[in-house]
Structure 1
Amino acid sequence: MNHRTRLDWMFLWCCLLRYSYLRLEKICLKAVLKGVPGFGWAMQVACFIFIKRRWAEDKEHMENMLDYFCDIREPLQLLLFPEGTDLTENTRAKSDVFAAENNLPNFQYVLHPRTTGFTFIVDKLRKGDNLDAVHDITVAYPKNIPQTERHLILGLFPREIHFHVSRYPVASLPSASSDLEAWCRERWAEKEVRLRDFYSSQPRAFDRDGVAQVPPCKTELRVALIKAASLLYWSSFIALCFTGLWLWAPVRLYSLAMVGVFVAQQRLFGGLELLELSCHRYWKSVAAGGDDKGVTEDAKIK
């Protein structure tokens, strides 16, 4: 997906909720976010892929995480922002410099994508027989664009969000890495044209000619009920947490202990997702050792 604002990933959840894919969602995102108290810890528990944007370090970590996902065979939907950061005047200027150095056109509505991570993920999941399709998502904001979390705190939520989704089955993707990189760049060139047409049209909307309209599997009534239940649950949960912290010493001690556990494990292991990965490797090696022992004993009997 293109990264128009720092909040795109969260707005996409509203779309995924209507199609019952939200529980499958994992995100490839900056490693610094894993240290955010509460929110970052939850993403560690969910096994998001944290990267430092230094390929020499990220390649091995990404390979280990993708191998883990392929091993456990759980349904996976991985959100990737090939642009690497959100669109601002500063990042657009850097993208223009990159374009000039590589004889590429300047983009106004997107940044030039970094294709190394994308091609690596596709190749790895394809080899692990854990890739069904690539969904090319273009997000646009026709009325107002909340760029950062500060806008949400001020109550400046987007009045509308438009998503254009194209599905590419794995069989239709190029097999060679160089061809896959070119394929990704072609999609971003299409996004530039699509967004230019979107923001120049009145009313602002994606062109629907020849586009299949797939209705959500959840009705708006069901979505509204889920929202109401979530609002009630989390409001009550937060209120109870603050009440417990204010009134009961055991709750304060428990909270302090949990903060200590999360901080300590991140310093010792690098994050809960890495601890989970290590446990998986250990039990996998134990199982492999047991299988080898069984084969050896069987051979002795024979």
Structure 2
Amino acid sequence: MQSAAYIFIHRRWKDDKNHFEAMLDYFCDIHEPLQLLIFPEGTDLTENSKVRSNEFAEKNGLQKYEYVLHPRTTGFTFVVERLREGQNLDAIHDITVAYPYNIPQSEKHLLEGNFPKEIHFHIRRYPVDILPASTEELQVWCHKRWEEKEERLRSFYRGRRNFDVSGPNAIPPCKSEARVLLVKWVSFLYWTLFSPAMVVLMYFSSLARWYLVTWILIFVLQEKIFGGLEFIELACYRFLAKRQKVELKKAE
């Protein structure tokens, strides 16, 4: 995750804002295609989180939800506005997820074999040019999307447990059912065999053991000293960008 420049947060806006700003500006400056997945509600749906969400709704004069949690819009609006200013935002994809049969809530459920039998996704694309301009309007826009999610999930769970399909097919035309099935099974077999194969390799090869220990030490030390690989990447970029500006000034 550090190598892929994930944005790690503390869930405290006063601590997270500066790091968010630095990372988003970096993504905009290097003009790399960016896919940023965020959960504005901040956590998963449980009885405890639903109680807190309802308290938030009462405090802010909002309706109470049964199937979703109220989104916290501060981070969402900041990300949208920062990426838009940096001309690095093409669209927002609003994704609603539903589980028609069983909903595992913890790793314990997965260890017991309680995997989801089906997962349904409802996806809607909002191009950047139709998004509201101001922060306040963006907050309202986000809340509207969550109202739609609540209604969509209510219809899903109280009806035939399927989203109403409108628009393109679930599988893109460049793919097929057979290809999707093949990729799924190849991936499953690869990752099932990879872990035991690495254990066997480390057992029989001292070189593999030293390689593993070396990289564990490197990652632990750099995180303790610098805070993470993404901080090193950001610092290197700033250093090189600053040096490039100095050289350009000298050339002028």
The answer to whether structure 1 residue 164 and structure 2 residue 119 are counterparts is no
Alignment RMSD, CA only? 1.4
Deviations along 1:160-213, one digit per CA (max 9) or x if unpaired, are: 111111111111000000110010011101111111111100x211123xx213
Q: What residue is the counterpart of 1:150 in the other structure?
A: 108
Query: What is the rounded CA distance, in whole Å, between the counterparts of 1:237 and 1:159 in structure 2?
Result: 24
Gaps of 5+ in 1: 1-42, 296-302
Partner-residue secondary structure (3-state), 2:92: strand
Shift of the 195–236 alpha-carbon distance from structure 1 to 2, 3 Å rule, reads closer
Partner-residue secondary structure (3-state), 1:79: coil
Query: What is the rounded CA distance, in whole Å, between the counterparts of 1:235 and 1:166 in structure 2?
Result: 33
How do residues 1-302 of structure 1 correspond to structure 2 at under 5 angstroms? 43-201=1-159, 203-208=160-165, 211-214=166-169, 215-216=171-172, 217-295=174-252
% identical aligned pairs: 54
Deviations along 1:236-272, one digit per CA (max 9) or x if unpaired, are: 4323321122122222222111111111111011111
Partner-residue secondary structure (3-state), 2:2: helix
Gaps of 5+ in 2: none
Query: What is the rounded CA distance, in whole Å, between the counterparts of 1:233 and 1:136 in structure 2?
Result: 31
Which is further off, 178-187 or 149-158? 149-158
Partner-residue secondary structure (3-state), 1:47: coil
Deviation at 1:72, TM superposition (A): 1.4
Query: What is the rounded CA distance, in whole Å, between the counterparts of 2:194 and 2:101 in structure 1?
Result: 34
TM-score, structure 1 length as denominator?
Answer: 0.79
Query: What is the rounded CA distance, in whole Å, between the counterparts of 1:206 and 1:228 in structure 2?
Result: 26
Partner-residue secondary structure (3-state), 2:8: strand
Deviation at 1:221, TM superposition (A): 1.9
One-letter amino acid of the counterpart of residue 213, structure 1:
P
Deviation at 1:152, TM superposition (A): 2.0
One-letter amino acid of the counterpart of residue 178, structure 1:
E
